[in-house]
Structure 1
């Protein structure tokens, strides 16, 4: 693979913004993301600067965004990991009694799909989550819309399993988001 998958840097907010807007204009965005393209476009540069800073190594350590960068510098995909603590307020979904990582914002540009880029993004993101000493992550989870079978199949292929938990889709309580998770494997 020619792409480099790495943590975003705080000064890369224009790339963070451009890739997110590309994701929000994807045909499946309505079932993949909790915001619309119009909402993303309306956000200020200060918002994008803060978002990039928080997801970089310079941020709090509670969020990390990974980008797949092509040899020409174009960002082809991204995934973000949020650290969730049992006693903290959750951004989305139901809480659990363990420290966990929550994968969000998964996107690979259509022209880059099918070449293993999503697999590599997840490998790097999961390795980072499992490597944390504090908090020690016990599970990694994500939510997938019930009408997004392609994404659900990918997540199952890389080791995520439906947990049986579902939550209503914000703005459309008749639709459900299905939690998938991978539990930490204990090593001897």
Structure 2
């Protein structure tokens, strides 16, 4: 558990699946969701409660996936980030997804705290030892790209089609272990 700037950064607990679901649906309903997430609000709403229970339980164990949340002083969940260990790639890596900060908490430094927690968790892995942290940024999201660059991520040159819009591209960015 990390404290900073008025937020407690911590993994989701197994019994917090309803709060996790609410925060994810808020993220998917956000006006920037179109260029921030590969899932639509309609997809998220349609997911069964068992999926949310599984996601929270897996995060609580924290073996191959963890969801960090930023808990505000009032106990509200202000933001989140998910880190998933991937071993099928050329090197063991962590894939960061689902980065979200509620609009009223943007500009507070919370996004950076959440990303640093995911990066710290990644570098703390011993089985497997993670060599890099990666993420994908939509070509129409220069603000996010600049934010990640400020944390040390660099473009890898890899791109892929946006799963929701084959005409749009996403760019891979990565941070290598120092």
Q: Which residue of 2 aligns with 1:48?
A: 52
- Over aligned residue pairs, what C-alpha RMSD do you find? 1.0
Q: Which residue of 2 aligns with 1:127?
A: 120
Deviates more, 1:41-50 or 1:176-185: 41-50
The correspondence for 1:62, drawn from 61, 64, 85, is 64
Task: Write the deviation string for residues 109-168 of structure 1: whole angstroms up to 9, x where unpaired.
Answer: 011010110111111111010011110000000000001111111001111011000011
Q: Which residue of 1 aligns with 2:111?
A: 118
Aligned runs of 1:93-172 on 2, under 5 Å?
A: 96-172=89-165
Using structure 1 for the length normalisation, give the TM-score. 0.90
Q: Which runs of 5+ in 2 are unaligned?
A: none
Partner SS for 1:179: strand
Aligned-residue offset at 1:16? 0.4
Aligned-residue offset at 1:171? 3.4
- The whole-number CA distance in structure 1 between the counterparts of 2:51 and 2:92 is 27
Partner SS for 1:56: helix
Partner SS for 2:135: strand
1:176 aligned to 2:169?
Answer: yes
Q: Which residue of 2 aligns with 1:34?
A: 38
Aligned-residue offset at 1:49? 0.8
- The whole-number CA distance in structure 1 between the counterparts of 2:64 and 2:36 is 22
Q: Which residue of 1 aligns with 2:76?
A: 74
Using structure 2 for the length normalisation, give the TM-score. 0.95
Q: Verify the 8 A CA contact 2:38 2:164 in the aligned structure 1.
A: no
Q: Which runs of 5+ in 1 are unaligned?
A: 87-95
